[in-house]
Amino acid sequence: MSDNRQTDPAGFPAEQCEFFVTGPVGRLESIVDVPETELARSATVVVAHPHPQHGGTMRNKVVTIIERALRESGLRTVRFNFRGTGDSEGEFDDGDGELADLLAVVEWVRRTRPDDDLWLAGFSFGAWISLRAAQTLPVRMLITIAPPVERYGFNELVSPNCPWLVVQGDEDDVVSPRAVIDWVEGLDRKPQLVVMEGSGHFFHRRLMDLRGLLKNAVQNQLP
C-alpha cells in the first residue's frame, strides 16, 4: 500500500496532519494537531514519547493527554516517533540519536513557525530527551512528566533558562518519586514540582486529572 504522507511540509499544517520530518538517519513519522482558531496562541510544543524499547510511541496515552491539554490551551502541537519506532526510519540509539531526532523536528518547527514560542514536553524517557534539548534551545516552557532521574545522566544537566514544570506520581513503580523529589531539591534553579497523589507511572485512572493539572499549570506562561 502506498504512503501518501508528505515529507517536510513547507508550511505548518492548518489542521491535523500526519507527515514525515527528515531526521539524521531517515524520515521521522510525525503528527501535527492545531487548536481551535479562537484559542490559538503564538506557541508550538514538541512532545517526546517514552522509551521506544518498552513500547513507547507518539500515541502513548500520557503523550496524547499532554498533547490534548496543551492544544486545548491554545498551542499547536507536534508529536513524532523516535528512530526505529512506528514508521520512523533508523534504529534505537540509547538517547543520543533520539536527541538528534528531537532537534530535527524542532528545526522543522522553527522553519515553519519562526515567530512562535518554542515549548518542549516529554514523558519518562522523553522527559530526559526534552531536558537535554532544553540545554541549548531557546525554549519558552519545559514540561517533564515522570523523569527517570536514576536511569540517565540527569545530574549532568542544568536547569534551563525558562519556566519548567515537573509532574511525578507518588505511586510510580518505574520512576522513584523520592529520587525525583531529591533531584529537584538539589537543583540550583528549581522547577515547579507537582506530586500527584494516587498516580502511577502511566497515570491510570488519573489521565483526566493530569490533563487538568497541565492546563492550570501553563495558564500564566501562555503568550
Please give the radius of gyration of the chain, using alpha carbons only, rounded to the nearest integer: 16
Q: What's residue 1's pLDDT?
A: 44
Beta-bridged to residue 144, according to DSSP, are 122, 166
Q: What's residue 19's pLDDT?
A: 98
Q: What's residue 17's pLDDT?
A: 97
To the question of domain 17-218 being in CATH 1.10.150.130, the answer is no
Helix axis angle, 96-112 to 125-133, nearest 10°: 60
By C-alpha distance, which of 180, 176, 177, 173 is closest to 201? 173
Burial 110-122 (b: 16+ CB within 10 A, else e): eebbeebbbbbbb
Q: Is 171 exposed, middle or buried (0-12, 13-18, 19+ CB in 10 A)?
A: middle
pLDDT tens, residue by residue, 82-107: 999 999 999 999 999 999 999 999 99
Q: In the chain, which stretches have pLDDT less than 70?
A: 1-2
By C-alpha distance, which of 102, 156, 162, 90 is closest to 127? 102
Q: What's residue 3's pLDDT?
A: 82
As a whole number of angstroms, the distance between CA 35 and CA 46 comes to: 14
- Looking at residue 132, what DSSP letter applies? H
Quickly tell me which residue has 518498552 as its cell: 54
